[in-house]
């Protein structure tokens, strides 16, 4: 079945460091891909998405590019802030309505001053 694999955390970085969180997927077709973020005590929020190959999603300084050849959707940010500390989930959806999401296990990011 369809699945998402992300790197285990926690990822610990100093402020202003470069961030990469790896995400790869397995799917029978061409899914839409998402990154969600969960801040402490809050629900998951959509961070960015890409719906076709070579699309780049971006938001709040984060970006991820849909790579069909490597079945990947790695999340990057050039300079992290303490406020970026959260859990990040990679997810895919196989239908155009984005109704059924398949999630990865989440990666906790800890950014220290």
Q: Binding residues for another protein, how many (CB under 8 A)? A: 21
21 makes contact with another protein (CB under 8 A): no
From residue 83 to residue 112, what is the string marking binding to another protein with x (rule CB under 8 A)? Answer: ------x------xxxxxxxxxxx------
Q: Tell the smallest beta-carbon distance from residue 34 to another protein (Å).
A: 9
d(CA 36, CA 97): 17
Confirm if 46 and 32 have CB atoms less than 8 A apart.
Answer: no
Confirm if 105 and 22 have CB atoms less than 8 A apart.
Answer: no
Structure tokens at 58: 């971006």
Kindly identify the residues of this chain, within the stretch 34-53, that bind another protein according to CB under 8 A.
Answer: 36, 38, 41-46
26 makes contact with another protein (CB under 8 A): no
* HSE-up (13 A, CA, CB side) for residue 61: 12
Confirm if 19 and 107 have CB atoms less than 8 A apart.
Answer: no
69 makes contact with another protein (CB under 8 A): no
13 makes contact with another protein (CB under 8 A): no
The footprint of another protein (CB under 8 A) covers: 4, 36, 38, 41-46, 89, 96-106
């Amino acid at each position: 079945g369809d699945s998402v694999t992300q790197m285990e955390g926690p990822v610990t970085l100093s402020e202003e460091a470069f961030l990469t969180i790896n995400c790869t997927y397995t799917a029978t077709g061409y899914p839409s891909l998402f990154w969600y973020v969960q801040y402490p005590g809050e629900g998951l929020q959509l961070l960015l998405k890409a719906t076709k190959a070579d699309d780049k999603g971006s938001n709040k300084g984060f970006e991820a590019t849909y790579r069909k050849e490597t079945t990947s959707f790695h999340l990057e940010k050039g300079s992290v802030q303490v406020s970026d500390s959260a859990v990040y989930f990679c997810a895919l959806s196989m239908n155009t309505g984005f109704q059924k999401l398949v999630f990865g296990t989440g990666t906790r990011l800890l950014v220290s001053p």
